[in-house]
Amino acid sequence: MTILPLHLHFSLTRSPVKPHSLPHAPRLKLTQHARPQVVAGPPENSVEINGTFPAMVSGQLPSGLRRELMPSHVAVIMDGNRRWARMRGLPIGSGYEAGAQALRRIVELCCEWGIRVLTVFVFSSDNWFRPKVETDLLMDLFERVLKYELQHFERENVRVSLIGDTTKLPKSLQELLANSVGTAQKNSRLHLIMAVNYSGQNDVVQACQKIAVKVNDGLIKPNDINKFLVEKELETNCTDYPHPDLLVRTSGELRISNFLLWQLAYTELYFTNSLWPDFGEDEFVEALFSFQKRQRRYGGRNS
């Protein structure tokens, strides 16, 4: 999973992506397309339905989607940016720029449709094994674009949280990320969680280390350790909805790649052949339709 710059302008219109790369390259020209038919959803209630707490009432939903079956937390592995660029004979940076626009569309739709939490795999701790010139480019691009977008987070009432080991990021990026979290902490329309230099395995390890310290200090006993205590120490303790209802992975890969390993225990998985820059409203609606057709039993039987 590779880093994606964030251009979040919240225009709430659907656009196909054309080539777009670094500042020296021409900007993408967007063309407005017709939106699917939408219908108003019923008022939200707080009752758990099919294993999901209904999303907050916000904008209208595409026809056929049911408000009471909308996921509260969607996680995304944004894969296929480099492949998208290579297929078009473009620089790798163009793929990441196009992927940023795809992320913008999904953030817009989550806000419009009342999804409460969106967690995106921005940069995996395993991505450091890629060529340094590529990781340096991605870090620089992420920093410059995020700096530009902070005002939009505040304007659109989007709360931002980070998970992952940010100490290995460039100092200037660390400061910017800390500022983005601080300035949008009270926002409530959407909680955007960015996994940056994140590893699901390391997340579990650091939680165990914190618990071990508490045992060593005599604050808790070994027999006190249970799954709820572990979850309190995981990095996703920043949200009231730490377990994604739906995980979407693009580009046709059928794995979760060290992402939210604990939190995905009962998550519904959706895999699509679409490359991330091509993942738009139609593809998101298709994923949500698939989710709403499933029975979430958590090990039990159908009622």
pLDDT at 7 over 90: no
Report the distance separating Cα 248 and Cα 92, nearest Å.
Answer: 23
Q: What confidence tens digit (pLDDT) does each residue in 27-86 have?
A: 343 333 333 333 333 333 334 444 444 555 557 999 999 999 999 999 999 999 999 999
pTM value is 0.80
For residue 75, list its beta bridge partners: 119, 247
Burial of 83 (0-12, 13-18, 19+ CB in 10 A): middle
What's residue 30's pLDDT? 36
**Is 79 a residue of the active site?**
yes
Minimum mean pLDDT among 3-7, 128-132, 259-263, 286-290: which range? 3-7
Q: What confidence tens digit (pLDDT) does each residue in 86-140 have?
A: 999 999 889 988 998 899 899 999 999 999 999 999 999 999 998 898 898 888 8
- pLDDT confidence band for 144 (50 / 70 / 90): confident
- pLDDT confidence band for 177 (50 / 70 / 90): confident
Q: Are 286 and 104 in contact (CB under 8 A)?
A: no
pLDDT at 24 over 60: no
Report the distance separating Cα 132 and Cα 79, nearest Å.
Answer: 19
Q: What confidence tens digit (pLDDT) does each residue in 240-279 have?
A: 999 999 999 999 999 999 999 999 999 999 999 999 999 9
- pLDDT confidence band for 282 (50 / 70 / 90): very high
Rounded to the nearest 10 degrees, the angle between the axes of helix 171-183 and helix 132-155 is 20
Minimum mean pLDDT among 60-69, 142-151, 276-285: which range? 142-151
3-state helix vs strand vs coil in the chain, percent to 5: 40, 15, 45
What's residue 156's pLDDT? 86
Q: Are 54 and 44 in contact (CB under 8 A)?
A: yes
What's residue 303's pLDDT? 56
Minimum mean pLDDT among 3-7, 45-49, 148-152, 196-200: which range? 45-49
pLDDT at 178 over 90: no
Burial of 165 (0-12, 13-18, 19+ CB in 10 A): middle
Q: What string of DSSP letters covers 51-78?
A: TBPPPPP-SPEETT--GGG--SEEEEE-
What's residue 185's pLDDT? 77
For residue 140, the 8-state DSSP code is H
Higher pLDDT, 74 or 146: 74
Give the max Cα distance, the chain: 62
Q: What string of DSSP letters covers 189-214?
A: SEEEEEEEEE-HHHHHHHHHHHHHHH
